[in-house]
Amino acid sequence: MSKILVIGSTSGIANEAIKIWLEQGNHIHLYARNHDKLKMQVADLEIRFPGHKIDAFTFEANNLSKTLDQISLDNFDIALITVGELKYSDELVGQIQVSEKLINSNIQIPLAFAQTILEKYKTQGYGKLGIIGSVAGDRGRGKNYLYGASKAFWETYLEGARQEIWKNKNISLSLIKPGPTNTAMVQGRELGNLRLAKPEAVAKVIVNGMERGKSVIYAPKIFQLIMFIFKIMPIKIFNRLSF
Protein backbone atom coordinates (compact mmCIF):
# COMPACT_ATOMS: atom_id res chain seq x y z
CA MET A 1 0.00 0.00 0.00
CA SER A 2 1.31 3.41 -1.00
CA LYS A 3 0.60 6.69 0.73
CA ILE A 4 -0.54 9.16 -1.91
CA LEU A 5 -0.92 12.94 -1.71
CA VAL A 6 -3.22 14.80 -4.11
CA ILE A 7 -3.20 18.60 -4.18
CA GLY A 8 -6.25 20.08 -5.90
CA SER A 9 -8.13 16.83 -5.45
CA THR A 10 -11.54 18.05 -6.62
CA SER A 11 -10.43 18.58 -10.23
CA GLY A 12 -12.00 16.17 -12.69
CA ILE A 13 -8.74 14.50 -13.67
CA ALA A 14 -7.51 14.23 -10.08
CA ASN A 15 -10.77 12.67 -8.95
CA GLU A 16 -10.47 9.91 -11.55
CA ALA A 17 -6.84 9.24 -10.63
CA ILE A 18 -7.88 8.99 -6.98
CA LYS A 19 -10.44 6.32 -7.87
CA ILE A 20 -7.75 4.25 -9.58
CA TRP A 21 -5.42 4.56 -6.60
CA LEU A 22 -8.19 3.62 -4.16
CA GLU A 23 -9.04 0.57 -6.26
CA GLN A 24 -5.41 -0.45 -5.79
CA GLY A 25 -5.86 -0.20 -2.02
CA ASN A 26 -3.73 2.88 -1.40
CA HIS A 27 -4.01 5.41 1.44
CA ILE A 28 -5.06 8.79 0.01
CA HIS A 29 -4.51 12.28 1.41
CA LEU A 30 -6.65 14.91 -0.31
CA TYR A 31 -6.10 18.67 -0.27
CA ALA A 32 -8.42 21.20 -1.89
CA ARG A 33 -9.37 24.86 -1.55
CA ASN A 34 -13.15 24.47 -1.68
CA HIS A 35 -14.48 22.90 1.52
CA ASP A 36 -17.94 22.07 0.16
CA LYS A 37 -16.60 20.40 -2.99
CA LEU A 38 -14.08 18.44 -0.93
CA LYS A 39 -16.77 17.28 1.47
CA MET A 40 -18.92 16.07 -1.43
CA GLN A 41 -15.95 14.35 -3.03
CA VAL A 42 -15.04 12.46 0.14
CA ALA A 43 -18.66 11.40 0.68
CA ASP A 44 -18.80 10.00 -2.86
CA LEU A 45 -15.46 8.20 -2.53
CA GLU A 46 -16.42 6.67 0.81
CA ILE A 47 -19.55 5.21 -0.78
CA ARG A 48 -17.59 3.84 -3.72
CA PHE A 49 -14.68 2.54 -1.63
CA PRO A 50 -15.96 1.64 1.86
CA GLY A 51 -13.25 0.94 4.39
CA HIS A 52 -10.47 2.60 2.40
CA LYS A 53 -8.19 5.17 4.00
CA ILE A 54 -9.09 8.70 2.89
CA ASP A 55 -7.86 11.78 4.74
CA ALA A 56 -9.06 15.17 3.55
CA PHE A 57 -7.92 18.73 4.28
CA THR A 58 -8.66 22.20 2.97
CA PHE A 59 -6.01 24.84 2.40
CA GLU A 60 -6.07 28.60 2.04
CA ALA A 61 -4.36 29.94 -1.06
CA ASN A 62 -3.30 33.08 0.79
CA ASN A 63 -1.89 31.24 3.79
CA LEU A 64 -0.14 28.01 2.85
CA SER A 65 2.43 27.83 5.65
CA LYS A 66 0.37 25.63 7.98
CA THR A 67 -0.53 23.22 5.17
CA LEU A 68 3.05 23.03 3.90
CA ASP A 69 4.32 22.32 7.42
CA GLN A 70 1.73 19.56 7.77
CA ILE A 71 2.78 17.95 4.50
CA SER A 72 6.49 18.16 5.33
CA LEU A 73 5.96 16.09 8.49
CA ASP A 74 4.66 13.07 6.58
CA ASN A 75 6.20 10.63 4.13
CA PHE A 76 4.41 10.14 0.80
CA ASP A 77 5.23 7.63 -1.93
CA ILE A 78 3.35 9.51 -4.65
CA ALA A 79 2.20 13.12 -4.97
CA LEU A 80 0.04 14.66 -7.68
CA ILE A 81 -0.42 18.44 -8.00
CA THR A 82 -3.41 19.49 -10.09
CA VAL A 83 -3.98 23.07 -8.88
CA GLY A 84 -4.65 25.50 -11.72
CA GLU A 85 -7.17 27.38 -13.80
CA LEU A 86 -7.81 28.28 -17.44
CA LYS A 87 -8.29 31.76 -18.87
CA TYR A 88 -8.32 32.76 -22.53
CA SER A 89 -6.51 35.86 -23.76
CA ASP A 90 -9.71 37.80 -24.41
CA GLU A 91 -10.71 37.33 -20.76
CA LEU A 92 -7.50 39.04 -19.61
CA VAL A 93 -7.52 42.24 -21.66
CA GLY A 94 -7.20 45.10 -19.19
CA GLN A 95 -7.66 42.68 -16.30
CA ILE A 96 -4.38 42.81 -14.40
CA GLN A 97 -5.81 41.28 -11.23
CA VAL A 98 -7.32 38.39 -13.17
CA SER A 99 -3.98 37.81 -14.88
CA GLU A 100 -2.20 37.85 -11.52
CA LYS A 101 -4.71 35.36 -10.14
CA LEU A 102 -4.05 33.06 -13.10
CA ILE A 103 -0.30 33.15 -12.47
CA ASN A 104 -0.88 32.59 -8.76
CA SER A 105 -3.08 29.54 -9.42
CA ASN A 106 -0.90 28.01 -12.12
CA ILE A 107 2.57 28.78 -10.76
CA GLN A 108 2.86 30.26 -7.28
CA ILE A 109 0.49 27.96 -5.38
CA PRO A 110 1.56 24.68 -7.03
CA LEU A 111 5.20 25.78 -6.80
CA ALA A 112 4.95 26.12 -3.01
CA PHE A 113 3.67 22.54 -2.83
CA ALA A 114 6.20 21.24 -5.36
CA GLN A 115 9.14 22.74 -3.48
CA THR A 116 7.93 21.30 -0.17
CA ILE A 117 7.37 17.84 -1.64
CA LEU A 118 10.67 17.83 -3.51
CA GLU A 119 12.63 18.76 -0.40
CA LYS A 120 10.81 16.02 1.50
CA TYR A 121 11.67 13.48 -1.20
CA LYS A 122 15.33 14.47 -1.01
CA THR A 123 15.28 13.81 2.74
CA GLN A 124 13.38 10.53 2.64
CA GLY A 125 15.26 9.35 -0.46
CA TYR A 126 12.32 8.28 -2.62
CA GLY A 127 9.02 9.41 -4.14
CA LYS A 128 7.12 10.10 -7.34
CA LEU A 129 5.86 13.61 -8.09
CA GLY A 130 3.49 14.51 -10.91
CA ILE A 131 2.53 18.08 -11.84
CA ILE A 132 -0.27 18.94 -14.23
CA GLY A 133 0.95 21.14 -17.05
CA SER A 134 -0.80 21.30 -20.40
CA VAL A 135 -0.22 20.79 -24.09
CA ALA A 136 -0.86 24.56 -24.22
CA GLY A 137 2.61 25.00 -22.71
CA ASP A 138 4.31 23.43 -25.73
CA ARG A 139 3.77 26.41 -28.01
CA GLY A 140 2.28 29.86 -27.52
CA ARG A 141 -1.09 30.49 -29.13
CA GLY A 142 -2.83 33.83 -29.39
CA LYS A 143 -5.98 32.34 -27.90
CA ASN A 144 -4.43 31.49 -24.52
CA TYR A 145 -0.77 32.52 -24.39
CA LEU A 146 -0.68 33.64 -20.76
CA TYR A 147 -2.22 30.36 -19.68
CA GLY A 148 0.20 28.50 -21.95
CA ALA A 149 3.16 30.45 -20.58
CA SER A 150 2.16 29.59 -17.01
CA LYS A 151 2.10 25.91 -17.94
CA ALA A 152 5.38 26.12 -19.88
CA PHE A 153 7.02 27.20 -16.60
CA TRP A 154 6.89 23.60 -15.37
CA GLU A 155 9.00 22.28 -18.25
CA THR A 156 12.05 24.26 -17.13
CA TYR A 157 11.36 23.83 -13.43
CA LEU A 158 11.16 20.04 -13.57
CA GLU A 159 14.07 19.77 -15.99
CA GLY A 160 16.27 21.62 -13.52
CA ALA A 161 14.95 19.64 -10.56
CA ARG A 162 15.68 16.36 -12.35
CA GLN A 163 19.26 17.47 -12.98
CA GLU A 164 19.64 18.35 -9.31
CA ILE A 165 18.54 14.91 -8.09
CA TRP A 166 19.75 12.80 -11.03
CA LYS A 167 21.89 10.54 -8.84
CA ASN A 168 18.86 9.38 -6.89
CA LYS A 169 17.05 6.86 -9.09
CA ASN A 170 14.31 6.41 -6.48
CA ILE A 171 12.85 9.87 -7.14
CA SER A 172 10.90 10.58 -10.33
CA LEU A 173 9.42 13.90 -11.46
CA SER A 174 6.71 13.79 -14.11
CA LEU A 175 5.35 16.70 -16.13
CA ILE A 176 1.81 15.79 -17.16
CA LYS A 177 0.43 17.38 -20.33
CA PRO A 178 -3.26 16.68 -20.78
CA GLY A 179 -4.96 17.55 -24.00
CA PRO A 180 -8.45 19.14 -23.96
CA THR A 181 -10.41 17.08 -21.44
CA ASN A 182 -14.09 17.00 -20.55
CA THR A 183 -13.88 18.59 -17.10
CA ALA A 184 -15.39 21.60 -15.35
CA MET A 185 -12.46 23.72 -16.58
CA VAL A 186 -13.80 23.78 -20.15
CA GLN A 187 -17.53 23.75 -19.45
CA GLY A 188 -19.35 26.74 -20.90
CA ARG A 189 -16.53 27.57 -23.31
CA GLU A 190 -16.79 27.76 -27.09
CA LEU A 191 -14.91 24.68 -28.30
CA GLY A 192 -16.23 24.29 -31.84
CA ASN A 193 -15.74 20.76 -33.11
CA LEU A 194 -12.96 20.01 -30.65
CA ARG A 195 -13.17 16.46 -29.36
CA LEU A 196 -12.63 16.23 -25.61
CA ALA A 197 -10.87 13.36 -23.89
CA LYS A 198 -12.61 11.51 -21.08
CA PRO A 199 -11.09 12.33 -17.66
CA GLU A 200 -11.03 8.67 -16.64
CA ALA A 201 -8.96 7.81 -19.73
CA VAL A 202 -6.58 10.70 -19.06
CA ALA A 203 -6.24 9.66 -15.40
CA LYS A 204 -5.33 6.10 -16.39
CA VAL A 205 -2.50 7.36 -18.60
CA ILE A 206 -1.28 9.61 -15.77
CA VAL A 207 -1.30 6.88 -13.12
CA ASN A 208 0.50 4.43 -15.40
CA GLY A 209 3.04 7.03 -16.51
CA MET A 210 3.85 8.10 -12.96
CA GLU A 211 4.21 4.49 -11.88
CA ARG A 212 6.81 4.02 -14.62
CA GLY A 213 8.57 7.24 -13.64
CA LYS A 214 8.12 8.93 -17.02
CA SER A 215 9.52 12.46 -17.25
CA VAL A 216 6.78 13.71 -19.60
CA ILE A 217 3.30 12.23 -19.83
CA TYR A 218 1.00 13.25 -22.67
CA ALA A 219 -2.60 12.28 -22.03
CA PRO A 220 -4.13 11.06 -24.25
CA LYS A 221 -0.91 9.68 -25.73
CA ILE A 222 -1.79 10.83 -29.26
CA PHE A 223 -1.00 14.38 -28.19
CA GLN A 224 2.70 13.54 -28.06
CA LEU A 225 2.61 13.20 -31.85
CA ILE A 226 0.22 16.11 -32.36
CA MET A 227 2.34 18.50 -30.31
CA PHE A 228 5.56 17.31 -31.94
CA ILE A 229 4.09 18.38 -35.29
CA PHE A 230 3.05 21.77 -33.92
CA LYS A 231 6.43 22.36 -32.27
CA ILE A 232 8.39 21.81 -35.46
CA MET A 233 5.95 23.76 -37.61
CA PRO A 234 7.55 26.90 -39.16
CA ILE A 235 6.38 30.09 -37.48
CA LYS A 236 4.97 31.55 -40.73
CA ILE A 237 2.64 28.58 -41.05
CA PHE A 238 1.86 28.36 -37.34
CA ASN A 239 0.81 32.02 -37.17
CA ARG A 240 -1.86 31.45 -39.81
CA LEU A 241 -3.63 28.83 -37.72
CA SER A 242 -6.74 29.95 -35.86
CA PHE A 243 -7.10 27.10 -33.36
What are the extents of the domains in the chain?
3-238
| Dist. CA 236–CA 140, nearest whole Å | 14
Q: Which residue has the higher pLDDT, 193 or 109?
A: 109
CATH number of 3-238: 3.40.50.720
Q: What is the pLDDT of residue 180?
A: 87
Say yes or no to pLDDT of 190 above 60. Answer: no
Mean pLDDT of 174-193: 78
Residue 48, number of CB atoms within 10 A of its CB: 11
Say yes or no to pLDDT of 191 above 90. Answer: no
Give the least confident one: 37-41, 182-186, 218-222: 182-186
Mean pLDDT of 60-77: 95
| Dist. CA 233–CA 58, nearest whole Å | 43
Counting Cβ atoms within 10 Å, is residue 157 exposed (0-12), middle (13-18) or buried (19+)?
buried
What percent of the chain is modeled with pLDDT above 70? Answer: 96
Mean pLDDT of 100-116: 97
Q: Which residue has the higher pLDDT, 242 or 239?
A: 239
Give the least confident one: 7-21, 41-55, 181-195, 204-218: 181-195
226 SS3 class: helix
| Dist. CA 168–CA 2, nearest whole Å | 19
| Dist. CA 83–CA 152, nearest whole Å | 15
The residue among 148, 135, 150, 139 whose CA lies nearest residue 216 is 135
| Dist. CA 178–CA 113, nearest whole Å | 20
Cα 57 from chain centroid? 18
Say yes or no to pLDDT of 193 above 80. Answer: no
